[in-house]
Amino acid sequence: MRPARCRAQPVCLGACRRGYYPFPAGTDMCQVHASFATGPRQNDGTFYEIRTYDVKPSKMKEFVELVNKHIHLRAAHSEMFGFWTVEFGGMNKAIHIWKFDNFAQRAEVRKAVANDKEWQEKFISPVLPLLKKQKNEIVYLVPWCEIGKPSKEGGVYEMVTFQMKPGGPVLWGQSFRAAISAHLNTGYTKLIGVFHTEYGLLNRVHVLWWNENPDSRAAGRHYAHEDARVVAAVRESVRFLESQKNMLLIPLSCSPLK
């Protein structure tokens, strides 16, 4: 059966003509676009840059001290969303996330940072010998998610990364959202954000959760996996899943998210 004809052609970008919307005839495709496309980024250029640093094992303490002491110099140029070290799911790693209004702003910030002598001398020069490698990703907040805040300071964060099948949110968006909502509705955890990659590995989604501590997270997960609604939603979403991994993150004292 041919997909229903799209009545949202200005934002469709030809996806419907390529058969990316497996919906029955008569489906309101305008509503589909509003639900599944990463639409807000087309009207609101806000995006986030996720940076991952692998630190030399013997230099982790020195790295954390440098960040806590001098990261305010970098944060003076653009908004820092959060800064964490990885406790489980990786070793000697640091994750930090920065918010930008658009790509023009990021270009301006990068130029300003490169010309900031104090930042270069106090942080960049001493930190580079401490690092093994760096990588970054550009991500957008998915349309149906708003940035959340932890219930209190002092908890832990879990970043769960899902590598989905090619096709984008029009293929797996509904099932993925249902699975996230099912976990959220159990009440054991706090959703901070759901981010979809624009640059990096495509069809990748990062979900950032907050919990009071690792034990409450473990107990909540055990409870959730006995919830029939969670089981059903996850069973549906894994049809579109290629792989997944997670990391337990500990916020640095300088992190806005603590």
Residues 125 and 134: beta-carbon distance below 8 Å: no
Residues 40 and 140: beta-carbon distance below 8 Å: yes
pLDDT in tens, 143-193: 999 999 998 888 999 999 999 999 989 999 999 999 999 999 998 899 999
Is a pLDDT exceeding 50 seen at residue 26?
A: no
Is a pLDDT exceeding 50 seen at residue 30?
A: no
Q: Is residue 9 assigned to a domain?
A: no
- The residue-averaged pLDDT of 194-198 equals 96
H or E element: which one contains 140?
Answer: strand 131-141
Q: Output 195 or 9, whichever has higher pLDDT.
A: 195
Q: Is residue 31 assigned to a domain?
A: no
User: How many distinct structural domains can be found in the chain?
Assistant: 1
pTM, 2 dp: 0.83
- Residue 175's closest CA among 5, 2, 11, 36? 36
Is a pLDDT exceeding 80 seen at residue 37?
A: no
Q: Is residue 25 assigned to a domain?
A: no
pLDDT in tens, 209-218: 999 999 999 9
Is a pLDDT exceeding 50 seen at residue 40?
A: no
Q: Output 198 or 35, whichever has higher pLDDT.
A: 198
pLDDT in tens, 234-253: 999 999 999 999 999 999 99
pLDDT in tens, 72-117: 999 999 999 999 999 999 999 999 999 999 999 999 999 999 999 9
Q: Is residue 27 assigned to a domain?
A: no
CATH code assigned at 122: 3.30.70.100
Structure-block tokens of residue 200: 């990096």
| CA 95 to each of CA 16, 51, 250: distance values in angstroms, whole numbers, following the listed order | 37, 6, 10
Range of the domain at 133: 47-251
Q: What is the pLDDT of residue 151?
A: 87
